[in-house]
Structure 1
Amino acid sequence: MDRRSFLKNTAIGGSAAAATALAAPAYAQGKRTLTLVTTWGRGLAGVHDSAQRCADMITAMTDGNLTVDLKAAGELVGAFEVFDAVTAGQADMYHGADYYFVGQHPGYAFFTAVPFGMTAQELVNWYYHDGGHELHDELGQIFGLKSFLAGNTGAQAGGWFAKEINSPEDFQGLKFRMPGLGGQALGKLGASVQNLPGSEVYQALASGAIDGTEWIGPWADEKAGFQEITKIYYTAGFHEPGAGLSLAFNREVFESLTPSQQKVCEIAAGEAHQHNLSQFLSENGAALQRLQSGGVTIREFPDAVWDAFGAASQQVIDENIGDPLFKKIYDSAMVSMRSSSGWIQKSTGAYVAQRDRVLG
């Protein structure tokens, strides 16, 4: 895509000219400062941590020859404006959840999560060994981006509700926050789906602007304070079984880096991914216990609701499968997922079941 055409045809184009000083990395005695914008409010548990870790590692591993200046959501551009800001050259890179940008292309959902999609382990198997990274790059070339996985929340919770969900009909008219293709699937069940940045979710839930929300999982949800508003928590969700986060560079900026600097950025993103995944998984168990001790009621959706989730999710896939690149990404991801799952279930899955039985 021609960047001049993009600037002319996007809302951010008018502000990009005023931000010329940010359009190219700042130089000082051979050193460069790169501006990183994020979809996260400063301090949001886990997700902001991953963005900050990427910034700090790139700065440290280049001995400060690249200094990454992190701007949290709202400090330079809004949470959902980071994609356009980097494509237009207003910022050098973003850290975020790529499923926020399915409006640019629905294929971006696969690099965060899709309903009934890949777990965190299955996602990295696909990404690093079965063509996922190459497809992320092919998609990015359309928009002038160079992207890497750079975080993962693990399996996300079904969410917080003002009332119990006993049947698919309970979603009719429910005002619920859920981004990505999962949100589109809930819309098929009659929900009024809201796509809110993380920093706005608590206030929306507290004010009644929404009836419920998914966010991440016990640790991040506890930090956000949702248990102060409602005590009904569904711990398994269909929408994000292993949500990846991305570090995406303006492609011209990335290509202007030296080969060693490019490799540092790639390594920093990969390390941040693994550190972030283990951070979430190590914190979630204890946080869940604290939530339960504080009066939160843990629930699981009944089978009829899961079946409705599945049917609605397939409708969403079918509506997008006509796009050739979406289909290419979908086919690749599903082949990899089924291959990985077959072994994981027979090895790790069988072991964990026996371990829990033996140890009680």
Structure 2
Amino acid sequence: MDRRSILKHAGIAGVLAAGAAPAVHAQAAIRWRLASSFPKALDTIYGAAEVFAEKVNAMSGGKFVVSVHPAGELMPAFGIVDGVQQGTVEAGHTAPYYYFGKDDTFAMGTAIPFGLNSRQLTAWYFDGNGMKLFREFYDKYNIINFPGGNTGSQMGGWYRKEVKTVADIKGLKMRIGGFAGKVLTRMGGVPQNIPGGEIYQALEKGTIDATEWVGPYDDEKLGFFKVAKNYYYPGWWEGGAQLDFYINKAAFNALSKEYQAIVEAATAYAHTEMQARYDARNPQAIKRLVANGAKVLPFPKAVMDEAFKQSMALYTELNDTNPAWKKIYTDYSAFRKDANVWFRFTEANFDNFMQRQKL
């Protein structure tokens, strides 16, 4: 009788007697597909999904394999929620605010204008109520979410013409991510929600007057500086834009506790590594952009003030009309208030001092 036959038919005593005791924690092989909202060329933001897959594979000893698929390969860039919810794929990596059309509440999962910065958002998720509240929200979509990276504070985008006054926003056709377009609309702009891989062509052809994406490292790869030279800061709508891993609830619950822990650990690693990559690569990229003719400009105070005013008015309206938004935003805004008091004494003052020094 061969070894496999022994393992199949013998009782535990017989197996032990045969000297072929199985591993106590043996796990069945698992294969998942993960759909990304991003093109493969963006090694930072798309790369977070690859980092996740690599860590899952390594921690499972090759028993749990996740294949990563760029936007458009399995489904459209903005089709991740539907794909994961319906079980077309087991997992997705995306920016929650892409789905504000389903419910504005999604936006808080990534960034809202004048919201939390990246460290504050991570703190709210992991040590505040953010994770709990969003797990409750996503339950109706059959999704379990895990933070999946953060870009840090973003730039304000590329503009064909300079923005000198609030009036310059009126009629401006701008590619802007998701929910922030509502504020742009209130300021007289015309938002366009275009996937990353399609932005350059729209800007080059004049279909749009301006675009934002992330920051210098990704923007350089996408080539925006070739067709629009005015590079504004800050991205007031994305003080710390978080990505999420969306996992189909049934697929996650079908995993062993060990594999669930591997998924949780791998997402946390990818979450940390994404911002590390941006923070390490953006400084050199902005130098190269300036060398190639980019004009780095601050938004005028009047534009910032108007954007803030319109953002706060929008949140008041949503509190009155959307119970899901109100439940999460009430906690989010209270956390933001306390976090900003603390950061004012420490992070902000230290950063401002250091940035004035010539080291």
Fold match by TM threshold 0.5: yes
Matched residue type, 1:339: D
Matched residue type, 1:76: L
State the secondary structure of the residue aligned to 1:215.
coil
Deviations along 1:271-324, one digit per CA (max 9) or x if unpaired, are 111110111011111111111111111111111101111122123223322212
Matched residue type, 1:260: E
Matched residue type, 1:331: T
- Matched residue, 1:119: 117
Matched residue type, 1:318: T
Larger CA Rg, structure 1 vs 2: 2
Worse overlay, 144-153 or 284-293: 284-293
- Matched residue, 2:42: 44
Aligned CA-pair RMSD: 1.4
- Matched residue, 1:254: 252
State the secondary structure of the residue aligned to 1:210.
coil
Q: Does 1:171 align with 2:187?
A: no
Q: 1:138 aligns with which of 116, 136, 139?
A: 136
Deviation at 1:133, TM superposition (A): 0.6
CA contact (8 A) 1:120 1:241 kept: yes
Deviation at 1:153, TM superposition (A): 0.4
Q: 2:310 aligns with which of 298, 309, 312?
A: 312
- Matched residue, 1:240: 238
CA contact (8 A) 1:135 1:329 kept: yes
Q: Map of 1:337-352 to 2, 5 A cutoff?
A: 337-352=336-351
Structure 2 Cα separation of the partners of residues 262 and 77 of structure 1:
25
- In structure 2, relative to structure 1, the CA distance for the partners of 1:359 and 1:292 (3 Å cut) is closer
Matched residue type, 1:107: T
Q: Does 1:327 align with 2:293?
A: no
State the secondary structure of the residue aligned to 1:234.
strand
- In structure 2, relative to structure 1, the CA distance for the partners of 1:45 and 1:231 (3 Å cut) is farther
State the secondary structure of the residue aligned to 1:180.
coil
Structure 1 Cα separation of the partners of residues 351 and 236 of structure 2:
22
Deviations along 1:93-119, one digit per CA (max 9) or x if unpaired, are 100100001122211111100000010
Structure 1 Cα separation of the partners of residues 318 and 355 of structure 2:
41
Structure 1 Cα separation of the partners of residues 157 and 222 of structure 2:
13
Matched residue type, 2:111: A
Deviation at 1:340, TM superposition (A): 1.7
Deviation at 1:175, TM superposition (A): 0.9
- In structure 2, relative to structure 1, the CA distance for the partners of 1:320 and 1:86 (3 Å cut) is same
Structure 1 Cα separation of the partners of residues 168 and 340 of structure 2:
32
CA contact (8 A) 1:32 1:66 kept: yes
Deviations along 1:38-87, one digit per CA (max 9) or x if unpaired, are 11112224110111111221122111221101111110101011110110
State the secondary structure of the residue aligned to 2:158.
strand
State the secondary structure of the residue aligned to 1:160.
strand
Structure 2 Cα separation of the partners of residues 104 and 166 of structure 1:
34
- In structure 2, relative to structure 1, the CA distance for the partners of 1:324 and 1:46 (3 Å cut) is same
Q: Structure 1 vs Structure 2: percent identity of aligned residues? A: 34
- Matched residue, 1:270: 268
Q: Map of 1:59-70 to 2, 5 A cutoff?
A: 59-70=57-68
Matched residue type, 2:241: A
Structure 2 Cα separation of the partners of residues 312 and 31 of structure 1:
51
Q: Does 1:353 align with 2:352?
A: yes
CA contact (8 A) 2:98 2:179 kept: no
Worse overlay, 42-51 or 116-125: 42-51
State the secondary structure of the residue aligned to 1:200.
helix
Structure 1 Cα separation of the partners of residues 104 and 135 of structure 2:
15
State the secondary structure of the residue aligned to 1:80.
coil
Q: Does 1:103 align with 2:101?
A: yes
| Unaligned ranges ≥5, structure 2 | 1-26
Q: 1:93 aligns with which of 87, 91, 101?
A: 91
Worse overlay, 70-79 or 38-47: 38-47
